[in-house]
């Protein structure tokens, strides 16, 4: 009786299933697919989706260190074993949540991104609406049974498809059997299905007593890719077998080639909070009759006295003292009545000492008196000016130099420049005959003797698909590289070869941020 009671308790979780063609999003099989049920740890798919979105938007980075709260540290298993106050990088939290399904890691992610688990759950629900998951509501980041926390097989399949298309650089995280989570090495909760079903590459398992054994899986065969979700399995083996049967039947029903329709990435809706500032009014603003300033009542400006001009005229004469200029400025009728100044009556300024003003005045007088209009006004000035002394001719004998002569005939012609180039060594070098020239040739791909190894995979197709995916994503980096899948004793090893050492190190650095195994190798 006790065994039967336990069996009925396990069977109490309702069963639901949904299968879609990942290329188009079209349904292939459905059963209770829109029934709201407990999603269990399938919830962490949304936790990871928001974390990937935060990384893509620059809000956080993979090496951002999150502080573990007492709330996160107290989460029940499955857990990573984090301690309150501990700091851990986001990359390790992602691995623990995706591979081990650690509840304490999922809570730390939510609190680190949104500030609290409640705020993060609100963001999860908001994102679910943006993705078209209309029958989903989240209350936490880990998926433990909570009132008001529910989803459907249809909605979780939608989320799995968006994970595959929206974040291909992180999708390989769901197919890893184990990973370094910082504090320990973790193993995948989905490794049985990944190992047993050909073409499976993810995504997430979940289990609680209320939910049963849940699974959202993705698998590829040739050009076909399916995403399916099962709720309410009675055991891990029964759930995996049911999923395998659903996928086998669906692969046989979908066409080999269809037009791929990628899902549109959601537009995040940000709630903006507007706060009105409370400012106390100034006393002037509360007066019944504010004081006013009338500008048109100011007196007109006083006119400037005209006598000041006489000071300027008087100051123009350099021989008049300051007292005399002031006396003339105060004279009554003559200066007050006159408002104009006659420049003709002003004294001519005294010539600067040493200037030849006499010659200039004489030339002007002669030009005015002359009847010949074509006479040059400058010729008298030029004739009166002194001729400059010639520079001494240092190349001719002193006796042959005629004073006042500007001829260059006595200067010697310059020597013809020699076409011989003389190379001299700086210091005491080797002055022997130079050695014979040695011609060294290099291969066209010289310096590109490095490559990268991307780990081991069970099938050649998986390794080849990874190389193709990375080549498409980073075409600028891998454009000149060669793709090669090595058949090793431990599995199929995808490699990029014919890279320079710097390009190989750069590629591994980029792939490390995507949690992709990468090792620099020599070709």
pTM: 0.53
pLDDT of the chain along its 523 residues, tens only?
A: 333 333 334 445 899 999 999 999 999 999 999 999 999 999 999 999 999 999 999 999 999 999 999 999 999 999 999 999 999 999 999 999 999 999 999 999 999 999 999 999 999 999 999 999 999 999 999 999 999 999 999 999 999 999 999 999 999 999 999 999 999 999 999 999 999 999 999 899 999 999 999 999 999 999 999 999 999 999 999 999 999 999 999 999 999 999 999 999 887 544 433 344 455 555 555 555 555 555 555 566 665 554 444 444 444 444 445 555 555 555 544 444 444 444 555 566 665 655 545 555 665 566 555 544 444 545 555 555 566 666 555 444 444 444 444 545 555 666 666 555 544 444 433 333 444 444 444 454 556 788 999 999 989 888 988 888 888 777 777 877 888 899 888 889 999 998 888 888 888 888 888 888 899 998 7
Cβ contacts of 443 within 8 Å, gap of 6 or more: none
Residues 356-365: contacts with CB under 8 Å, at least 24 apart: 356/384, 356/385, 359/384, 359/385
Cβ contacts of 233 within 8 Å, gap of 6 or more: 15, 212, 213, 214, 215, 239, 242
Check residue 391 and give its pLDDT.
Answer: 56
Check residue 286 and give its pLDDT.
Answer: 54
Q: Please state, in angstroms and rounded to a whole number, the distance separating the CA atoms of residues 308 and 335.
A: 10
Check residue 488 and give its pLDDT.
Answer: 87
Check residue 152 and give its pLDDT.
Answer: 97
* CA distances, 108 to each of 69, 91, 138, 145, 452 (Å): 7, 12, 16, 18, 33
Q: Please state, in angstroms and rounded to a whole number, the distance separating the CA atoms of residues 241 and 221.
A: 18
Tell me the three-class secondary structure of 348-396, residue by residue: CCCCCCCCCHHHHHHHHHHHHHCCCCCCCCCHHHHHHCCCCCCCCCCCC
Strand order across the 16-21 sheet? 27-31, 16-21, 224-233, 212-221, 200-208
Return the structure tokens found at 201.
Answer: 């590459």
Look at residue 185 and give its three-state secondary structure.
strand
Check residue 158 and give its pLDDT.
Answer: 97
Domains of the chain in start order, with CATH, are 25-253 (3.40.710.10), 450-522 (3.30.70.1070)
Cβ contacts of 512 within 8 Å, gap of 6 or more: 518
Q: Please state, in angstroms and rounded to a whole number, the distance separating the CA atoms of residues 149 and 137.
A: 5
**Neighbour-count burial of 281, counting CB atoms closer than 10 A to its CB (0-12 exposed, 13-18 middle, 19+ buried):** exposed
**CB 243, CB 192: distance < 8 Å:** no
**CB 514, CB 172: distance < 8 Å:** yes
Q: Please state, in angstroms and rounded to a whole number, the distance separating the CA atoms of residues 190 and 316.
A: 107
Check residue 171 and give its pLDDT.
Answer: 94
Q: What is the DSSP string of 384-453?
A: HSPPPPPPP-SSS-GGGPPTT----TTSPPPPPPP-------SSS---SPPPPP------TTTT--EEEE
* Count of CB atoms situated within 10 Å of the CB of 335: 17
**CB 149, CB 43: distance < 8 Å:** yes
Check residue 494 and give its pLDDT.
Answer: 93
Would you name the residues annotated as active-site residues? 41, 44, 101
Check residue 475 and give its pLDDT.
Answer: 73
**Residue 98, by phi and psi: left (phi above 0), alpha (psi -120 to 50) or beta?**
alpha
Q: Please state, in angstroms and rounded to a whole number, the distance separating the CA atoms of residues 429 and 426.
A: 7
Check residue 289 and give its pLDDT.
Answer: 52
**CB 99, CB 151: distance < 8 Å:** no
- What are residue 438's phi and psi, to 5 degrees? -105, 125
């Amino acid at each position: 009786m006790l065994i039967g009671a336990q069996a009925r308790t396990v069977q109490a979780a309702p069963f639901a299933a949904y299968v879609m063609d990942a290329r188009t999003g079209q349904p292939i099989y459905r059963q209770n697919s829109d029934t709201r049920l407990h999603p269990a740890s399938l919830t962490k798919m949304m936790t990871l989706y928001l974390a990937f979105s935060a990384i893509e938007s620059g809000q956080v980075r993979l090496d951002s260190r999150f502080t573990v709260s007492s709330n996160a540290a107290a989460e029940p298993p499955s857990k990573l074993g984090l301690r309150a106050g501990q700091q851990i990088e986001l990359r390790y939290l992602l691995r623990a949540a995706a591979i081990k399904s650690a509840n304490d890691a999922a809570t730390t992610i939510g609190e680190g991104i949104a500030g609290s688990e409640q705020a993060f759950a609100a963001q999860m629900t908001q994102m679910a609406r943006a993705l078209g998951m209309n029958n989903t509501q989240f209350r936490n980041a880990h998926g433990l049974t909570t009132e008001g926390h529910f989803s459907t097989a249809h909605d979780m399949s939608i989320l799995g498809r968006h994970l595959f298309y929206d974040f291909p650089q992180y999708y390989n995280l769901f197919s890893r059997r184990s990973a370094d989570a910082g504090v320990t090495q973790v193993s995948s909760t989905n490794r049985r299905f990944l190992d047993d079903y050909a073409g499976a590459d993810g995504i997430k398992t979940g289990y609680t007593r209320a939910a049963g054994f849940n699974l959202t899986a993705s698998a590829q065969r040739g050009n076909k890719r399916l995403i399916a979700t099962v709720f309410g399995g009675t055991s891990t083996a029964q759930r995996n077998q049911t999923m395998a049967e659903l996928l086998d039947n669906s692969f046989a029903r979908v066409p080999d080639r269809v037009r791929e329709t990628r899902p549109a990435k959601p537009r995040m809706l940000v709630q903006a909070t507007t706060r009105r500032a409370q400012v106390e009014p100034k006393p002037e603003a509360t007066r019944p009759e504010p004081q006013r300033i009338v500008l048109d009542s100011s007196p007109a400006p006083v006119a400037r006295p005209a006598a000041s001009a006489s000071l300027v005229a008087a100051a123009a004469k350099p021989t008049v003292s300051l007292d005399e200029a002031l006396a003339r400025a105060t004279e009554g009728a003559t200066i007050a009545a006159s408002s104009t100044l006659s420049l003709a009556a002003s004294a001519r300024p005294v010539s600067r000492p040493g200037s030849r003003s006499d010659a200039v005045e004489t030339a002007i007088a002669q030009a005015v008196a002359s009847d010949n209009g074509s006479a040059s006004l400058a010729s008298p000035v030029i004739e009166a000016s002194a001729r400059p002394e010639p520079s001494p001719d240092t190349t001719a004998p002193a006796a042959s130099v005629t004073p006042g002569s500007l001829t260059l005939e006595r200067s010697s012609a310059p020597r013809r420049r020699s076409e011989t180039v003389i190379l001299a060594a700086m210091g005491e070098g080797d002055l022997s005959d130079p050695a014979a020239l040695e011609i060294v040739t290099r291969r066209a791909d010289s310096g590109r003797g490095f490559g990268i190894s991307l780990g081991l995979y069970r099938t050649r197709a998986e390794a080849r698909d990874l190389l193709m995916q990375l080549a498409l994503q980073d075409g600028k980096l891998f454009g000149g590289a060669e793709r090669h899948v090595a058949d090793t004793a431990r599995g199929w090893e995808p490699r990029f070869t014919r890279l320079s050492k710097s390009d190989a190190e750069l590629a591994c650095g980029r792939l490390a941020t995507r949690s992709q195994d990468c090792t620099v190798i020599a070709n």
